[in-house]
Amino acid sequence: MKPRTILLQYLVYAPKATMLICMWGVLLLVGCSSSRTVDSAKNTKKQSSVSMKGGGTLSSKKIGEVQYKVASTPKVLSPSLTPLHKKIIAEAESWLGVPYSYAGITRFGIDCSALMMNIYNALGIPIPRTAAEQFEFGTEVAREEMLPGDLVFFNTTGSPASHVGIMSSSEEFIHASSSIGVTKQKLSDTYFSTRWSGARRIISLPKPKAKQKVGKESSQQDEYHEE
């Protein structure tokens, strides 16, 4: 092959070969850099969790230079309930599906505070008629200490006690909704969690009597009474 021909071929193919080599080198460097970035993120990722008063937790997560903090909602306690508590829950659930009626007090139509009054009146426990009066009537209870049977209040119209419901479990309450009637909803629903006012207890918690020793053996049975 003539020298001139060899020179021409070199001038044609050499730039292409050089470009391919450069592209391969760039891809190799990017791949290595990405791998180191992922490994670095894994190594710098830190997560810790601390308990908060009331049963919630505060999680702290750090990825690189960014710090994230998320607080969990405290769970409501669920100790054993007395027969009276269970009757109140059953009475509340018997009203599910009743239509809403402002100032109504019967199963043909009822409002939120009348529902609470009727539930407790059915078991011989008289309470005031309006939500504002019920808010002042009961004993204040911390949110993380609520029990089924406790009344829960919300600010839906500008007043701290403009709406009321009754806890039916550790996470749900029963109330008379102006749009759908008597229903059961979660306390964590955005509408109600952002309008929370407080909780009131109508029935005192059962209190155990002091244990009495009998001879060498002690009685392990607790007797409870209602206040």
Task: Please pick, among 22, 32, 85, 175, the residue that the annotation labels catalytic.
Answer: 175
Residue in 22, 85, 163, 225 annotated catalytic: 163
Residue pair 113/164 in contact by the 8 Å Cβ criterion? yes
- Our answer to whether residue 22 is catalytic in this structure is no
The yes-or-no answer on residue 85 being catalytic is no
The catalytically annotated residue of 22, 32, 85, 112 is 112
Residue 153's Cβ-count burial label (10 Å; 0-12, 13-18, 19+) is buried
Handedness of CA 151, 156, 159, 163 (dihedral sign): negative
Please indicate whether residue 112 is annotated as part of the active site.
yes
The helix (run of H) or strand (run of E) holding residue 25 is helix 3-44
Per the CB < 8 A criterion, the answer to whether 174 and 168 are in contact is yes
Structure tokens at 133: 């009066």
User: What ranges in 56-206 are assigned the alpha helix state H?
Assistant: 83-93, 112-121, 131-137, 190-193
Q: How many residues does the chain have?
A: 227
Residues with a catalytic annotation lie at 112, 163, 175
